[in-house]
Amino acid sequence: MDKEELTRWALAHGWQMLAGHPSLTKPRAPKEAIVRLVLKATVAHVEVKKPAGKWEKMAGAAYADIQPHPETGLPIGLGLDTITGFAMLMQDNRDRQVFAKMTGGPPSA
C-alpha cells in the first residue's frame, strides 16, 4: 500500500483528517486526535497521544511492507491489528460518522 491507498482506506473506515494526518478521536472529545497515521515519503507510522499531550510512535513500516488483509482490507504491517483497543476505537469513530450523516449533523458531532 502507498500513501494515497492508506489515506483512502483510513477515511473510508472512520478516520478523519486532523492537522494533516488521518486520525482517530476520543469518543467524548471528537475534535481531539488520539491516534494518527503519519505518512512520510517512504514509511508510515502509527502514533498515539500520551496523556501529557506528546505523540509516541507505536509502530511503523515501509510502504512496501504494508499489505491489505485479503478479507478485511485492514493494512497489515503497521500493527493496527495488534494494538489493544484499536478495533473498538476505530468502530466508535466509524459509527459516529455514520450517525452524523443520518441525522444531518457534522461528522465530528
User: Phi first, then psi: what are they for 78, rounded to 5°?
Assistant: -100, -5
User: Would you say residue 58 lies in a domain?
Assistant: yes
User: Would you say residue 109 lies in a domain?
Assistant: no
Grid cell 478479507 — which residue?
A: 71
Average pLDDT, the chain: 87
User: Would you say residue 34 lies in a domain?
Assistant: yes
User: Would you say residue 89 lies in a domain?
Assistant: yes
Q: Is the CB of residue 39 less than 8 Å from the CB of residue 7? A: yes
Instruction: Write the pLDDT tens digit of every residue in 47-96.
Output: 999 988 999 999 999 999 999 989 888 899 988 877 777 778 888 888 88
User: Would you say residue 56 lies in a domain?
Assistant: yes
Tally of domains within the chain: 1
Task: Give counts: helices (H), strands (E), the chain.
Answer: 2, 7
The whole-angstrom separation of Cα 38 and Cα 58 is 11
Which grid coordinates belong to 35? 491516534
DSSP state of 41: S
Q: Which domain holds residue 68?
A: 3-103
Specify the pLDDT at position 105: 57
User: Would you say residue 97 lies in a domain?
Assistant: yes
pTM of model > 0.75:
yes
Q: Is the CB of residue 25 less than 8 Å from the CB of residue 14? A: no
User: Would you say residue 108 lies in a domain?
Assistant: no
Coil/strand/helix, residue 23: strand
